[in-house]
Structure 1
Amino acid sequence: MGPTVTLLISIGLCLDWAVRAQQDPLPRPTLWAIPSPVVSKGADVILRCQGHLGSHRFQLWKDGELRDERNTSWQQAEFMLRNVDDWRYAVNYSCRSGQGPLWSELSEPLALVVTGAFPKPHISSSHYYSAITPGTTVTIWCYISPQGPSHHYSFALLEAKSLEPLQRQSPTGTPAAFSFPSVRAEDTGSYSCVYYRKTAPHMASWPSQTLELTVSGFLPRPTLWAQPGLVMTPGANITFWCSRPKMSSLGEVIFTLWKAGTQEPLQQQISAHLWTSFLLPPVRPENTGSYSCTYMVQTASARGSEHSEALELVVPGSLPKPSLSALPGLVVEPGMHVILQCRQPPKTFLNSLTFTLLKVGTPQPLQSQSPAGTSADFPLLSMRAQDAGNYSCVYHERMAPHQVSDASEVLEIWVTDALPKPSLIAWPGPDVASGANMTLLCQGPSWSTRFILHKEGSMDTPQDVSQFSLTHVTPKDSGNYSCRYQPGTNGSLWTQPSDPLKITVRASVPSNTLLITLSCVSFLLVCLLLLAIFCHRSICIAGALHRDNLKRFFCCPCLPQGVCLPHHAEAPRDEALYTEVAKERPSEPSVSNSKDPEGVTYAHLNLRTLNKRQADPKETPIEPTVYATVSLD
């Protein structure tokens, strides 16, 4: 690539970036501190800058001055501040992200607060007893000594262990009040507070004493989910994940996995993390059922959580498969309701069954019911295009041995505004000869009731079957064809047309053309044969014997045998061959045998005009006359 091309490309890129900078400025990034913007003196802190998609350059600014810059392939960058033991760290930080030559605006400023500069404040609560009823309003106060000028300071309520700020206050007096209008179980925890300078440097006090807040009742319920899904084939593995809310008062907890209908827990795990996993062995049909999880603290109170939302695991088994039907039909208008009825097969006579509705492509069951009868109705309300799809159902026993059926036959449900486009194919192919027969097949769903064949510039052809027969086609039948189909629920609704199919009908070749062609070829072959014979006869050379009385005759092999004169038997076989060339001798039209007493035959050849015309005896040849004496055996 030449320097001129490189220069032009660079100019183009610069102009592109300039235009983008004017039309679409980069969004502002976000800056936060890990683990907290409140840092103990001497601790480390990470400032993380999260940019927009495509960001690869980041800058960290400290009190309006650029402090650090780095490139990264991700959309974020981390800046480490180690051993924050100097008050000069307790200032405002911001960052910006860049893409190419463009830079975003600076992020919202982050005030880094460093503790240990002032005496610790006092902390108290409106409720001093150990357990607080859920829904109660609780207030926590944080105040400094009377001689402290509180109007110069802001207050922060912290989670005691991580120092993460939960609430901030900037009161004009003291104390600062932090309110919980309606406490919940997840508000249980350990709290402390600090006060710090409103302006930089943001020096803070030592954290206050820890205040324990306990809300009675169950702990907040956890969340349970499964990987890879809840509809599993026998022999597959499945993992359940149980996660709890973040609570400062909790350390290690006991996670428990439960299955409905059993009194004993399936598995238990002890973890200080917010989640844990439960791996089931290769599942079998008897693993079908409802699962949930809980967690419990490892203290004397042994407080536990509520059960998570239940998940239905389905492992199809060996019981006869049920039947699935749809009312009012397989094709419905948008907004209509559909009822899918799952019915156990006749003569099974099983009781205490749970029916489950499945959808192909969805990793978990849609609905489950435990009716008293032998069938369950699953309503699909206000159908939309995304509700179209393939449905099936299973049933299983609610009590041991928990047998499970195979899945029913798949039922395909369609919403009219999401009907599939048909396809059009030709047999034996789209390119045929004139006079042939062909069939056009319009392919749509199995429930299609009526079809239309359309040709550009012609009338539509409707019929009740998907095959359109074209007999004895001609070139006039060439063109672009398409088709549509009609669902049975609406006599006026037709789907969008298929992709056009180009049909080509080739004109037939007339029957006498072949005879004419063969006749012409035969005629040319005869002409070539006659021309070959003529040329073969015209290239004969005559020779004569000279001086001796022995005579020989030389004839062209192209002449008949009777034309050649027989030679004498006594002629010697070793007669010499000589050639005489007369450079300026006049040509003769012919040589007479009567003028040659020795019986020599002379042939006069005009080499220039041999292949062009017959020699004129009156003309004198330009080239010399050549005589040849040939000894014949």
Structure 2
Amino acid sequence: MTFTFTALLCLGTLHKPTIKAEPASVVTSGSHMTIWCQGTLDAEICVLHKEGSQKPWGTQTREKPENKAKFSIPSVTQQHGGQYRCYCYSSAGWSERSDNMELVVTGIYHNKPSLSVLPSPVVALGENMTLQCVSKEGYDKLVLTKDDQKFLSSMNSQFIHSIIQYQALFSIDHVTSDHRGTFRCYGYYNQTPHLWSVPSETLETHISGLSKKPSLLSHQGQILDPGKSLTLQCCSDINYDRFALYKLEGGNFTQHRVQWTQSGLSLANFTLGPVRSSTGGQYRCYGAHNLSSEWSASSDPMDILIIGQLPFSPSLSVKPNSTVHSGDNVTLLCQSTYKVDTFILSKEGAAHQPQRLKSKSEAWDFKAEFSMSAVTSALSGTYRCYGSQDPSPYLLSHGSAPVELIVSGGDHTVENLIRMGFAAVILIILGILVFETWARMPRDTTQPRCSKVLSNLYTTLVYKKSCNVVRETGC
């Protein structure tokens, strides 16, 4: 008893050492790792202790020139997971124990989760983002790491009925440049908190700045048949050195070097290959300079929609009819007896995004009315409509039969202004001629001058002509 009491008195008379794991404290099962314990310069031996163990894990003398004790683990197993401390001995006695070091072994469970970021892996400084870890396996906890280091405390997983999986949401408010990097997530059980699953696929986040957004174009259009080739082009009048294309909801962040055109545009072409159902989705692109780690603001989003993925075709009709006058109101009615959540109306050759409307259902009839007020000739063209369902909004039905909309006549407002202007010029000329004639006529008190003016044949003809012009304009 006296010896134990003396040992306890001696322990802690020197400064506590530091403990560190290399390459990291989160390590894959089967890999090699080293635990270092560094005490004071006069330390002679260091002891490594694992929490829950009755005996020291190991004892080592310090190595020069680092003056650190090295504890090597050639092949990590699940028995190595846990918390460690070390303490050292010198001629002055025993040191205090170091702080706890937590060693986590990954790859113990083989059902790996998946990781995604909302709304996008490119987030502007100061905005918020959410990292979503999802697993089919019912792990008690899901944990997020950044660059192989523990980034956030683990969170309880929750079962989500709509996706029939477990998930945890890691919210990050007011993003800074420190949040740029590579993330992974893991799952583990409460009874073994130091034993984790295999990691999710890596997810890289990027920070965007305030530089001008590029433009995203599709020369093949946005509504495509399967099997067709598709190339998306990102371009800008800013001299960016690289562009990146991102597909919403877990797509890859693909980077390309740029080309410069003779007109001074920078651009990059992203060839997506033959179109498949997996090609459908929403795309954005970003620009960056080589000397900057920040990306530009996002381009406007572009939806790529794939035809023929639902086994029906809606019908399309025009009210009041397919030939109307400029300025009239027109409604294009899209209908289907099959279930449709959203109708999409497209105009052949149009550069803008197709129109979308949620369907309204009456019994087994689903429909949407696309209204156009005060139409112009620019709206003339061939229209088709398609249907989609909410679980897969980028996968469409077959197209309806085409409908030709013809808008006849020009813009009446502009036409009337031109005619009124012409009439005003005629009236001014008429006034000048009347005044000159009146001034040259001899004095005759027997007949009022106005009567003599009106009796002038030339003036009368001009006057009649001008009245006819004014009458035609409706003034």
TM-score (norm 1): 0.29
Larger relative CO (CA 8 A, sep 6+): 1 or 2?
2
Greater fraction of residues in strand: 2
TM-score (norm 2): 0.38
